[in-house]
Structure 1
Amino acid sequence: MTVHKRACTTPPPRASRSFRVRWPVLIAAACAGLVLATTSPPAVAAGAHDLGDETMLYDFQDGLVPAEVGPYQAKTTIVGRGDKKLRVDFQARKNYYSSFSVRPEPVWNWSAEESESLGIAMELTNPSDRSVQLTIDLESSTGVATRSVNVPAGGGGTYYFDVDSPALHRDTGLRADPSWLADKDVTSAVWMWGSKETDTSRISQLNFYVAGLLHDRSVIVDDIRVVRDAPADPDYLKGLVDAFGQNNKVDYKGKVSRTSEILRQRAAEAKDLRRHPVPEDRSRYGGWLNGPRLEATGNFRVEKYQGRWTLVDPDGYLFFSTGIDNARMFDSPTTTGYDFDHDAIQELPPPSLTAGGPEDLNRVQKSALPTRTKMSETRADLFSKLPKYRTRAGEGFGYAPDTLAGPVAQGETYSFYKANVARKYPGSNYMERWRDNTVDRMLSWGFTSFGNWTDPEMYDNDRIPYFAHGWIKGDFKTVSTGQDYWGPMPDPFDPAFSDAAARTARAVADEVADSPLAIGVFMDNELSWGNAGSFSTRYGVVIDTMSRDAAESPTKSAFSDELEEKYGTIDALNAAWQTTVPSWEALRSGSADLGSDETAKESDYSALMTLYATQYFKTVDAELDKVMPDHLYAGSRFASWGRTPEVVEAASKYVDIMSYNEYREGLHPSEWAFLEELDKPSLIGEFHMGTTTTGQPHPGLVSAGTQAERARMYAEYMEQLIDNPYMVGGHWFQYADSPVTGRALDGENYNIGFVSVTDRPYPEIVAAARDVNQRLYDRRYGNLATAEGHYTGRRSAE
């Protein structure tokens, strides 16, 4: 029985494994207005996987695009002469966002029958020559659940969206779990963000979209169906990783089974590094030795040279920053599920204000080991084997005083990456050898610098430049945007914030020690400034702050002063805002009703947002100038979800390099046209692409189909930055893969490294980096004349 869903508050008819159809279900289907194409069982396309108790929603066999399927900046057609399917051509090159969605009217209700699990299965194939990352939103009365799949170029298969299951609600501490389905040939969509609680009685939309692509894509869709009680693998989490931290359930090229293989790889790489020396066109600081030599100041600076922004190295050579973030051990541990008697643990050092962290990863002292207690069986069962503390592999143990996600709030950690480095370099100086080899790699791979969060022990390497980093932490007051992803926003009008910024600036300055290798400093990271999606997301800081009492909120006091200075009388403000605020005192107290007229308040809210952001960047810049006047302030690295026009404009007045983290295929022209108007030197601080081909359950924020495609996507992204006249650099996040079992902080378990957990470089992306970096300066500056007439930026030579 083929069923095309048009309306349903009653459950749709089900095709069970035995294909029995009950009369009450048929009656319900008829009254709901369903089109019953035939009385035979629903056919699933050849090659599709039978997941058990399935109900067909759409099989497209009538040759019509269902009325409730709507494309947006995309084209939908029915293809196939026999077995008909829906083809969707995403017009992605011209449009940042392209989608097709299913909006049932009335909403779907799948709640009437109890089941252990509920999901949506579909057949997806990709006729394109590039893989397509398809993001899927399922919207219900409880919010939007967002998953993602990657359909490889020229390939496809059966894909499953978990709507409700015990696995979905199990807190594992992993950003994405391995598939719990018994059929491992079915690809489970990975969790991205949003709600894990779906109201299955009121599902209002199923939306498929692509975003930020630089090339058009197509996908062919068939047999969208509801699945109940899909067969499950009861051991999908048990023994997930082996003794080296590799996925125990997946075989792939480069996987090791013994330490001797790590040692052989080390020897082979040493030969490779010798065969690939630093490109010959590099100055001692990594600048373009064959290009024009501008004024040398002894430190890095920015300059606009013949219409293109550029960094200038300390000796005066044009410089473009290519590098890798997070070359350090700090983010490599994963929680084990064990903890200790807290009274037995030594006092841990306070959180670092810089990119540094304890080299021993907060390893607990010997006397605390007898108090080791299992706190999470789920976490503990992920590991097939953990070593003893006193062994060589035991070098990987540490302790997390707090986490942001997962079943343990604190506890024992283990870094498989550090343990494998200890295996790789026998002796007590293995960390020093790892650092030396990391610098060797950066130079051999052609990079001109490190990116953010480099181990400060490598700052004095005397061979490659770097960016330093500072975290502004303290007891200052905060405000909120309502979307505080990493935490609440600072109150920059609080004098305690200025004090905290000064402490951080001094800590960074102490580590940098006025080194000419330090290009600049990032301060903070991906703050929740809001976004331009709506009034509430754009002005969240203002909305929240206006509800506060000025006596307790310095930012509210500053906002109130600004409004009173502008309007003079409360009546004038009420006339402008269409409100009935009784007095300035009522406004200051936060008790006044500010009404719902967004349009009337928008210009003032925009000005207040600018005031807030200006105070933040002005304060940080002033404190850096006091202790690091010769180094560049590289901003706070805006996330794409945390950036508004007001904040960007405010930052541009105080930072030397505008920094952005952009996790897309590249910089889509429709979203980045503002660079021309802003006209500031800019840098991409984070981007990456990943796959699931090496056992990581989650590919990362941007996915590729293969390691070769990941390498190609890296090269294309970097080439776009190199060609952009406003860009002065691009940094890949990150050096090593995330742990398969999730990093301790928040569970990220992405294949986003240039090296694996066993410290093995991925040859495809290394080759791509070498090629891009070898051609870097000829591509960026090769067509520029060396004539005079350039003009300089704010921190250029006097």
Structure 2
Amino acid sequence: MAQHRYYFAAQYNWQGRVGFYLSFENETPEPVCRLSTLRIALGVADGNSWRFIVGSPQWQWNTTYTLKAQITEAGASLWLNGKPLGESAGGFSAHSGALEIGMTPSWASGATDYHLTAHRVSIRTGKGKPVNVPLAESSATVPEPVRMFNPETFWGQPVTRKGFAPALPVTIEATFRLVPLPDWKRFQPYIDRYGQCRYVQTVDKVRTDADLQRSLQQEKRILAQWGTPSDFDRFGGYLKAGWREQGTGFYRITRKGDYWWLVTPEGYPCFYLGVCSVPALLWERTPVSEREAVFEWLPPREGKTAEVWGKDVWGERAGTDYVCLHAVNLMRRFGDDWKQQSVELAKQRLLTWGFSGAGKWDRLESFPCAPVLGHWDVPNLVRHPDIFDPAIQAQFRESLRRQIEPLRNSAWVLGWSVGNEFDEIITREEIRQILRLPGAPAGKRSLMDYVLENLYRNDLSRLVQAWRVTAHDRSALYNAQPNPPEEDIEALRCFYADRYYGWIYRTVKEIDPNHLYFGFWIVPGWWENEEDWLLSAKHCDVLGYDRYAPDFADDWMKRLIARIDKPILCGEFSFPAWHEGARAYGRYPVWAKDEADSGEMYRQWVTNAARHPACVGVMWFQYRDQPLTGRGPGRGNTLVIGEHFAFGLVDFTDRPKWELVKRMREVNLKVAQIRLQAMRR
């Protein structure tokens, strides 16, 4: 399956139902999006809902097209080459965020057989003059085979305009031609035996095993020169704060004035600095099936390298083979004892670079960590287990107990979380599906009971009229297939989420009352609405969240934090280096020019986090770079499958990115002092 989207112009908040976008959209069950299935879409929101105008023209190669969209007080309209594609009546509510022009989102950057060329975008708002934006091809100096890893580079360099305030009418015009994308297969193989791109040439490229050994010896000298900081306890607590709490053997929370602090098991104040996915010895793997020709060399499937191979590692049940080439590099560096030596070096690196410990997604023995628990072995009602069903409750509780028990008394566990990001959001559509379920499962009955007793004050006749069902008693209501109004769906959603999050929180604390609970790493904006933020905060000790953004907190984020009286902990943030596509890695929505730029962005981000009274720590995503050919899931004869970003503190050959980590170390060693100084102001 492939999905691709290209925004000619976009300024919107999807969950907030505000703003507009004009885009190309394509989705297909095939590995590559074809020109024949390409659509044009204009989305306009009025604060309550989205409406769309969609056109599917008969496209021709190398033909010049002019696309025009207009948004007025009365509605919206869309034309192609002067011919109307559609119109939609309704209002418009503007979004105050940045205007994105020529952007391909990371979640919809699948392979295509076409791209745009010779194009420009013009935007006029109100009675102002039009703003013309020519979109030249980006990375034009990058060799063509390297650009094949990032086909969006053929589409033009995206432009971000801050401070754009749309006034009606808004008129968008785009001129473009559609041309075939070059055939990527003619450059095979792409990946060398070290997992690097054969067509990328840098002075520090690994060409022999001896290069790996030389870099290891150089690193040992630098780490010895820098040394392990002596101002912190083994859990990341600052020894020179001038105050100390009673140590309890576990991490906990305290408040000094307006400032929240983590307290280490030994009682010292801590602003936690973590790194996710460490040591990641055999993660992440890349899919191999149906694209073996991409690789110059693949390790034997038996013997010492047998364990670097895996099948259906995402649980897809498609018989897909995956391989972990960075693990082979670790074998080349460290020999038979590669796992233990990699683990010990990872610990030394993180401590020397000023980090407190690990973050989400992996852990190191006798080292701070933040394990993420799951419920993959508990059946879902729709998207989540039915915690209203006593049998499911018992199964869910036992699953959590099994996961927690081995580390229940460990001082190294920072705290627990269950699930991750949007997967744990209770959506409106989930509620609709529960209400449409046949029979009367416990979750459906609980929703019906709640709405009857709390929204309709036990007035069944009023409820069945509003829900357009026939039911003479509660039993018949349970078996109905209702069509509730939107306000009832939202009320039921919040009720269900409140009960679901509350049950998990209480259950985790019953199993393990000593460790902190962080919730499910909610992503601000990736939800139904702000009620999800409030509900998540209600059922945790520290609100864990993930935020991929250039700043720690803009005005909107500050307002969200101010709405809760809870400490917060950021579980993932990152600024992977892009190098204008010259290294073949993907361009993440929040990217840095190079490692030095990434380090400077980190410095500012962490400094601002440390100065915020509510924030008690942050975790960088992640320890290693991802495979150039993507981490999956999926299979097919395409060059990149899934994420392929340079997130790492170390590259794919296990070498530190010195321009990044030296800047990280500088601010990491000062962060406790930065927070203490902010607290004293």
User: Which residue does 1:732 correspond to in 2?
Assistant: 620
| Deviation of 1:710 (Å) | 2.0
In 1, the alpha carbon distance for the partners of 2:393 and 2:204 equals 49
User: Which residue does 2:286 correspond to in 1?
Assistant: 334
User: Which residue does 1:448 correspond to in 2?
Assistant: 356
**Is residue 182 of structure 2 the alignment partner of residue 287 of structure 1?**
no
1:496–1:241 distance in 2 versus 1, CA, 3 Å: farther
Specify the SS of the correspondent of 2:358.
Answer: coil
In 2, the alpha carbon distance for the partners of 1:514 and 1:740 equals 40
User: Of residues 461, 482, 505 in structure 1, which corresponds to 2:400?
Assistant: 505
* Runs of 5+ unmatched residues, structure 2: 1-7, 9-60, 73-94, 104-111, 124-132, 166-171, 635-641
The answer to whether the 8 A contact 2:575-2:591 is kept is yes
In 1, the alpha carbon distance for the partners of 2:462 and 2:143 equals 62
The answer to whether the 8 A contact 1:120-1:224 is kept is no
User: Of residues 550, 556, 578 in structure 1, which corresponds to 2:444?
Assistant: 556
| Deviation of 1:101 (Å) | 9.3
User: Which residue does 1:308 correspond to in 2?
Assistant: 259
User: Which residue does 2:515 correspond to in 1?
Assistant: 631
In 2, the alpha carbon distance for the partners of 1:266 and 1:183 equals 28
The answer to whether the 8 A contact 2:415-2:518 is kept is yes
In 2, the alpha carbon distance for the partners of 1:712 and 1:705 equals 11
User: Which residue does 1:48 correspond to in 2?
Assistant: none
The answer to whether the 8 A contact 1:459-1:466 is kept is no
RMSD of equivalent CA atoms? 3.9
1:318–1:96 distance in 2 versus 1, CA, 3 Å: farther
The answer to whether the 8 A contact 1:736-1:753 is kept is yes
The answer to whether the 8 A contact 2:259-2:679 is kept is no
User: Which residue does 2:271 correspond to in 1?
Assistant: 320
Paired letter, 1:119 = H
**Is residue 338 of structure 2 the alignment partner of residue 433 of structure 1?**
no
User: Which residue does 2:430 correspond to in 1?
Assistant: 541
User: Of residues 576, 591, 610 in structure 2, which corresponds to 1:690?
Assistant: 576
Q: Deviations over 1:724-771 (max 9, x none)?
A: 211111111111111111114362211111111100111122012101
1:644–1:68 distance in 2 versus 1, CA, 3 Å: closer
**Is residue 498 of structure 2 the alignment partner of residue 592 of structure 1?**
no
User: Which residue does 2:384 correspond to in 1?
Assistant: 489
Q: Deviations over 1:215-243 (max 9, x none)?
A: 999xxxx9965334446245356212100
In 2, the alpha carbon distance for the partners of 1:416 and 1:758 equals 9
User: Of residues 672, 675, 681 in structure 1, which corresponds to 2:561?
Assistant: 675
Paired letter, 1:259 = D
Q: Deviations over 1:152-181 (max 9, x none)?
A: xxx9941499xxxxxxxxxxxxxxxxx996
In 2, the alpha carbon distance for the partners of 1:744 and 1:401 equals 10
Paired letter, 1:334 = T
Q: Deviations over 1:460-497 (max 9, x none)?
A: 2xxx4221221112242322xxxxxxxx3333223344
1:364-403 to 2 correspondences below 5 Å:
376=290, 379-389=291-301, 394=305, 397-401=308-312, 403=314
User: Which residue does 2:23 correspond to in 1?
Assistant: none
Specify the SS of the correspondent of 2:115.
Answer: strand
In 2, the alpha carbon distance for the partners of 1:159 and 1:509 equals 49
User: Of residues 300, 318, 321 in structure 2, which corresponds to 1:412?
Assistant: 321
1:653–1:450 distance in 2 versus 1, CA, 3 Å: same
In 2, the alpha carbon distance for the partners of 1:186 and 1:242 equals 15
Q: Deviations over 1:109-152 (max 9, x none)?
A: xxxxxxx9543225799xxxxxxxxxx9xxxxxxxxxxxxxx9x
**Is residue 356 of structure 2 the alignment partner of residue 467 of structure 1?**
no
- TM-score (norm. length: structure 2): 0.73
| Deviation of 1:325 (Å) | 0.4
Paired letter, 1:274 = A
Paired letter, 1:412 = D
Q: Deviations over 1:229-288 (max 9, x none)?
A: 446245356212100111122223532011110111111111111122233321232111
1:5-44 to 2 correspondences below 5 Å:
none
Paired letter, 1:423 = R
**Is residue 152 of structure 2 the alignment partner of residue 189 of structure 1?**
yes
1:60-99 to 2 correspondences below 5 Å:
95-99=96-100
The answer to whether the 8 A contact 1:181-1:230 is kept is no
The answer to whether the 8 A contact 1:691-1:698 is kept is no
| Deviation of 1:67 (Å) | 8.7
The answer to whether the 8 A contact 1:117-1:228 is kept is no
In 2, the alpha carbon distance for the partners of 1:182 and 1:284 equals 47
Q: Report how many residues are paired.
A: 559
| Deviation of 1:189 (Å) | 1.6
The answer to whether the 8 A contact 2:146-2:199 is kept is no
User: Which residue does 2:661 correspond to in 1?
Assistant: 766
Paired letter, 2:300 = K
**Is residue 311 of structure 2 the alignment partner of residue 422 of structure 1?**
no
Q: Deviations over 1:187-224 (max 9, x none)?
A: 742799xxxxxxxxxxxxx997759x8x999xxxx996
1:180–1:540 distance in 2 versus 1, CA, 3 Å: farther
Specify the SS of the correspondent of 1:281.
Answer: coil
Paired letter, 1:281 = D
In 1, the alpha carbon distance for the partners of 2:510 and 2:415 equals 14
User: Which residue does 2:64 correspond to in 1?
Assistant: 55
In 2, the alpha carbon distance for the partners of 1:316 and 1:305 equals 14
In 1, the alpha carbon distance for the partners of 2:467 and 2:401 equals 48
The answer to whether the 8 A contact 2:300-2:306 is kept is no
Specify the SS of the correspondent of 1:686.
Answer: strand
Paired letter, 1:515 = S
**Is residue 156 of structure 2 the alignment partner of residue 227 of structure 1?**
no
1:260–1:673 distance in 2 versus 1, CA, 3 Å: same
1:740–1:717 distance in 2 versus 1, CA, 3 Å: same
User: Which residue does 1:119 correspond to in 2?
Assistant: 115
- After TM superposition, the structure 1 stretch with the greater mean CA deviation from structure 2, 396-405 or 501-510, is 396-405
Specify the SS of the correspondent of 1:283.
Answer: coil
Specify the SS of the correspondent of 2:449.
Answer: helix
In 2, the alpha carbon distance for the partners of 1:95 and 1:304 equals 35
Paired letter, 1:725 = P
**Is residue 137 of structure 2 the alignment partner of residue 158 of structure 1?**
yes
In 2, the alpha carbon distance for the partners of 1:570 and 1:684 equals 45
1:629–1:182 distance in 2 versus 1, CA, 3 Å: closer
In 2, the alpha carbon distance for the partners of 1:564 and 1:770 equals 58
The answer to whether the 8 A contact 2:276-2:572 is kept is yes
User: Which residue does 2:491 correspond to in 1?
Assistant: 607
